[in-house]
Structure formats: structure tokens, C-alpha cells
């Protein structure tokens, strides 16, 4: 297996995420709810990853108004903290402020493990968006 495909060190299965945030370069961010990550084996026999979470769609629209790039910060507990750079995001098309739907995310490139202090520094710098 080449390096492009062996960056996922987790075993196959469904993993619950303690905290997850979509974050833009200007530090505007949206907190995701009930996030999960699934590790599975693809057709070519390599481990693949996809994730799911609940989010208010209007917040993603607001985040994208000022930013073309959005990263995903993930805390899976303990030392398992990662940054997914510019993942592919798919969500529902309802834009009522109080409506949430399922957001799907798939990495574009390997996720980067980050130290707990770096994760907390990112969180401290965030400006969380919410529906008013």
C-alpha cells in the first residue's frame, strides 16, 4: 500500500467525535453536532474515511459568504485531534435559520494530527457563528 492510502491509522468502524468545527481562515467557525467518522475499506482495498454531523445549513451559507476555504477540526478524545484541510462538504438545501440537516464530509487529502494545545489555541481564536 503506498503512502497516499495508508494515512488512516484507525481500524474499520464508526467513531464518535467529541467536538467538531468547520473553521475558515478568518477564524469564523461553526460547531457541528452529533459528529461521527466512519472508517471503511474501499473497492481497491484501502482504508477510506467519511464523516457525518448535524448542522444548521444557514450557518454554512454564512461561513461561505466570506470564505472559499473551510477546514474541519475534529476532537475524537484524548490525543486524537485532527485537522482536515478543505474537505468535500455536502449538506441539505434548506436555508431556514432554525433547520438542521446532515452534513457529510470526505477528506481531500490526509488529515493532519494536531497537538492538544494547538487544538485549544484554534478553539480560543474561533468566532462561533450562530443563528440569530
Q: Domain map of the chain by residue range?
A: 3-122
The DSSP letter of residue 80 is -
Read off the pLDDT of residues 92-131 as tens digits, 9 standing for 90 and up: 666 566 778 899 999 999 999 999 999 999 999 999 998 6
Q: What is the mean pLDDT of residues 2-7?
A: 62
User: 132 or 53, which is more confident?
Assistant: 53
Strand locations in 17-70 (E):
19-23, 28-31, 33-41, 47-56
User: 30 or 57, which is more confident?
Assistant: 30
43 CB-near residues (< 8 Å, 6+ apart)? none
Does the structure show a pLDDT above 90 at 30? Answer: yes
Specify the pLDDT at position 60: 85
User: 31 or 1, which is more confident?
Assistant: 31
Does the structure show a pLDDT above 50 at 2? Answer: no
Q: What is the mean pLDDT of the chain?
A: 89
Q: Does domain 3-122 have CATH number 2.60.40?
A: no
**In the structure, what pLDDT confidence band is assigned to residue 1 with cuts at 50, 70 and 90?**
very low
Amino acid at each position: 500500500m503506498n503512502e497516499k492510502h495508508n494515512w488512516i491509522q484507525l481500524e474499520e468502524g464508526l467513531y464518535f467525535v467529541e467536538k467538531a468545527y468547520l473553521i475558515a481562515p478568518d477564524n469564523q467557525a461553526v460547531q457541528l453536532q452529533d459528529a461521527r467518522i466512519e472508517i471503511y475499506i474501499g473497492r481497491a482495498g484501502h482504508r477510506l474515511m467519511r464523516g457525518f454531523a448535524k448542522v444548521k445549513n444557514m450557518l454554512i451559507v454564512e461561513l461561505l459568504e466570506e470564505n472559499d476555504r473551510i477546514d474541519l477540526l475534529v476532537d475524537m478524545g484524548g490525543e486524537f485531534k485532527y485537522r482536515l484541510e478543505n474537505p468535500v462538504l455536502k449538506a441539505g438545501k434548506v436555508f431556514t435559520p432554525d433547520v438542521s440537516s446532515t452534513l457529510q464530509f470526505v477528506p481531500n487529502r490526509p488529515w493532519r494530527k494536531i497537538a492538544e494545545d494547538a487544538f485549544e489555541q484554534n478553539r480560543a481564536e474561533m468566532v462561533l457563528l450562530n443563528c440569530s
